[in-house]
Amino acid sequence: MIYESWPWREELLRACARLQKRKTQQRWTERTHFLVERDLMVSAYAVRRLNEARKISDQLRASTWKAREHTLVGRVPDIMHDRFWESYELEQFKTIQMPLTKVLNQIIHSWVFVLSWTEDEKFDGIFVSAENSRQKCLYFIHIDTLIRMFRAVGEDDIVHLEMRRNAEGQLEVTRALSAREAQALPTDAASVRVVNVPSARNG
């Protein structure tokens, strides 16, 4: 459980600044490859943990993010066959909107994870596919999309929480609103609202 979310949010924003600079980087080494992979992996994991801890607003939890889907046309990549460009149709693709949790899981559980460059050698995104997804398709996610996603979570500011106790007496978050979403609430609405339900043990 993450209780204090602000250190994680601050680190997400720092990672965004680093990734933004990588877009114009000229010289790449094994070390810089690693640093980009680390920022992407750690940021994705941080967002997933914040999401699981209900430290992200409902609107952001329900958000979708643009990606390209490339169909599998050859052998499924495995430990002995990692030349992903031979397995997927890279010249043709379908543009999709991917739920936040799916983007995170593709990165965290990636089997294919390859940085991408433009023809003029500018870092522009990642090719990624999780262990199960690789049997059907490969995804390309632009670095601008990933930066926007991580920054949105880093800047997310929850000002209104609604919780309820379940039948076992455990508190569950049922609603989490950002400052923008909370504008629609009555001006006298409490920032935290707890609803109690009868315990199954007392029923």
| pLDDT attached to residue 191 | 54
Q: What would the two tokens of residue 130 be?
A: 């999780």
Question: Is residue 72 within 8 Å of residue 137, measured between CB atoms?
Answer: yes
Over the chain (203 residues), the average pLDDT of each successive run of 10 is: 83 98 93 97 96 92 97 89 88 97 97 94 96 95 98 91 82 82 63 49 41
| pLDDT attached to residue 58 | 92
| pLDDT attached to residue 160 | 83
Nearest of 171, 164, 150 to residue 193 by alpha carbon? 164
CA distance 46 to 142: 19
Nearest of 177, 197, 145 to residue 58 by alpha carbon? 177
| pLDDT attached to residue 107 | 98
Maximal C-alpha separation, the chain: 68
